[in-house]
Every structure is written in structure tokens, then in C-alpha cells.
Homo-oligomer: A and B are copies of this chain.
Amino acid sequence: MTTAPMSGRKAQAARNDELILQAARAVFTADPGAPIAAVAERAGVGISALYRRYPSKEALLQKLCGDGLKLYIAVTERALADDGDPWEAFAGYMRGIVDADTNSLTIKLAGTFHPTEELYHDAVRSAEVAEEVHRRAVEAGVLRPDVTVADLALLFEQIASIKLGDEERTSQLRHRYLALMMDSLRIPPAHRELPGPPAADEELSARWTP
């Protein structure tokens, strides 16, 4: 770092730890095949700052994947702790997962490396809690029963596939389509107002000439 108005090498190093993780998350979420140099650039650090912390790209990816999985589990457990209206608990869970934006990264990176023992354990755990959320919603009679947990996983992936420029706009659109989805999941079926404006023509056509 060239201009760092902070003292204490350790403090800076700790700051870089976080900077690097954030950058890596952002970069790889946007493009799972991104070069490691892109992460360094985004974090505003040199490449060696990365290699000092992780022995290889794969190690960084595993870390990211693991963090994502843990976040996923945390969001799900939060939903399980929700004792309010069953539908709202379920809907909050769905929104939480979409916001966490942990699916695209975890899934797309999954086939990239050998899963750690811990990674595998967390994956199993996440499946368990997800199933519990699903079971509750079905048993409460608020979620249509012909939709399985696996269906929910694939719905998340579909929503994660939406990428339209701006990060904020992307999130907005994702919630729009999540809301649309929810209308077909809920018992009784009903149309609710969709959040956020639909995609404008320019937003779509912008992808035709880079």
C-alpha cells in the first residue's frame, strides 16, 4: 500500500486481510474464472499480499467457498429461529439467501477443487437446515407441497444467474424475480405487487456491444 494513513504494520496487515477477502468475494462472485491479479487490483494491494496469506488460488477459493457456506447456514438458522408468521419466516429466508448471494459462488466454484473435509461437513449441515426450513413451510401449509428443497436450490441458482451491470441494480432485479417466484410458491396462490422497476430496454441491449 503506497498511501496508508495508519500506523502499525500489524494493523495494516489485518486490514488487508479483510480487504482481500472482500475483493475476492466480489470479484469471484462476478466472475468465477477471474484471474488472481484482478483480486489484487480490486483490493488495491500487490499480488504478493495475496500469496502471503493463501498458498494458492485454490486455497483462497476454498476459504471463500467455506465462508459462503457458513453464511448460508447462518441465514438459514436465523430463519429457523423465526417464530412469527410461517410464510413471512419462509419469505424472509428466501430473501436472505438471495441477499447473501452465496449460491453462485459456492456452486460455481464447487467443481473447481477438491472439497475439504470441513467443506463437506458444512455442505451436509446446510442441506439439513435448508430441509428443515422447507419442511416447516410445507407443514404450516404456506408453501405448495409439490415444490421440494432441491427445487428451492435450483430456484436460487436461477436467480443468481441474473447479472445486470450495477451490483445494486442486480440485487433489485433479483428481488423482483424472487417476488414473482414467491407468488407461485405461496398458498393460497395470489399476485402481489412486484418490487423494483423491470429491466429497461437499454439495460438489456447494453450487452450487445462490449
On A, residues with C-beta under 8 Å from B are 107, 110-111, 114-115, 120, 123, 127, 144, 146-148, 150-151, 153-155, 157-159, 161-162, 173, 176-177, 180-185, 187, 189-191, 193-194, 198-201, 203-205, 207-210
Taking CB atoms, residues of chain B closer than 8 Å to A187 are 191
Taking CB atoms, residues of chain B closer than 8 Å to A209 are 111, 114-115
What are 18 inter-chain pairs, A to B, with CB distance below 8 A?
Answer: A110-B207, A111-B210, A127-B201, A144-B191, A146-B193, A147-B198, A150-B201, A150-B203, A151-B198, A151-B199, A154-B173, A154-B177, A154-B199, A154-B204, A158-B159, A180-B184, A183-B183, A184-B191
How many protomers of this protein does the assembly include?
A: 2
- Is B151 in contact with A162, judged by CB distance below 8 angstroms? no
* Beta-carbon nearest neighbor of A153 in chain B: B204
